[in-house]
Amino acid sequence: MIAKPSKDAVSPVALSRKQRKPSWFARAALERGLAAGGCPVCSSLRHVARRYIFSFLYEGMMSGSARAQFLKGGGFCREHFWQAKAIEAECWADGFGVAILCENLLARSLNDVERMPSAKLAKKTNIFGIEKPSHGKPPEFGVVPGSGCTVCATLEESENHYLTVLENLLEETEFSQLYQHSPGLCFYHLRVSAGQWRSASALTLARSTAGRVVHGLIADLREFQRKHDYQFSDEPRGSESASPERALEFLVGPRTELAGFCDLVPARRHNR
């Protein structure tokens, strides 16, 4: 006979997010992001993408189910496919894995290419000579590159996890002090957290940090522009020189240049 839970018992589902301990790995990733001087969530997600793509190229693509899921989704999206190419060039310098994946996708897309109509459907006109909209169905394609990118799906799940952990961490004195002296969240993740977080203290801290950052960016951008005036062009450059890049990182996130992406761990390997 199964004992009934007491009235005072609290199920795990009923535990508030304030009572859940933050993931150790997520905490370490967010702290590393703060130390790097950018949005901690963006930084953490770059490492997630790197690890996922590396693992897929190293062994995941040899799994029949993983390869089938990859092909069903049309492979990786543009950004993550080029990152995969860069990672492979860095770690193995042969491009063999990407060649296999591209060959598989191209073989599937060949049927789409051969079934494409040679011309658009002719439009009909009414009695006044005005073209009527065509109700013909556009051709359906079996392969839509990147439509089901598994890296994007993984990042979406990880993003929600990191934001939840960050909300909890901002209620801890030690972590909140680290956050206050950092650039904080980018504008995108600030907006997402505003719609997800329940903690008033976490939101207040995120908002005040963003306000400080934005005020500083505006001042630096104005100084950057002032020193481009010929009257002040001889003045020495300072921290305002990098303000356009910092402003872009806050507004749209860090750039996804391949060189910076490949500087992330794991270390170089030459054999698979």
pTM of the model: 0.76
Residue 166 pLDDT: 97
Q: What percent of the chain is modeled with pLDDT above 90? A: 57
- pLDDT lower than 70: segments of the chain: 1-22, 116-143, 257-272
pLDDT score at 145:
78
How do residues 154-174 score in pLDDT, each as one tens digit? 999 999 999 999 999 999 999
Provide the residue ranges of all domains of the chain, joining segments of one domain with +.
29-115+142-262
Dihedral angle, C-alpha 17, 252, 152, 60, nearest 10 °:
-100
For residue 232, the model assigns a pLDDT of: 72
C-alpha to C-alpha distances, 13 to 9, 120, 163, 260, nearest whole angstrom? 12, 55, 19, 40
- pLDDT for 8: 44
Q: Is 123 exposed, middle or buried (0-12, 13-18, 19+ CB in 10 A)?
A: exposed
Residue pLDDT, tens place only, 30-75: 999 999 888 999 999 999 999 999 999 999 999 999 999 999 999 9
For residues 38 and 249, the answer to whether their CB atoms sit within 8 Å is: yes
pLDDT at 140: 66
- The phi and psi torsions of 4 (rounded to 5 degrees) equal -80, 140
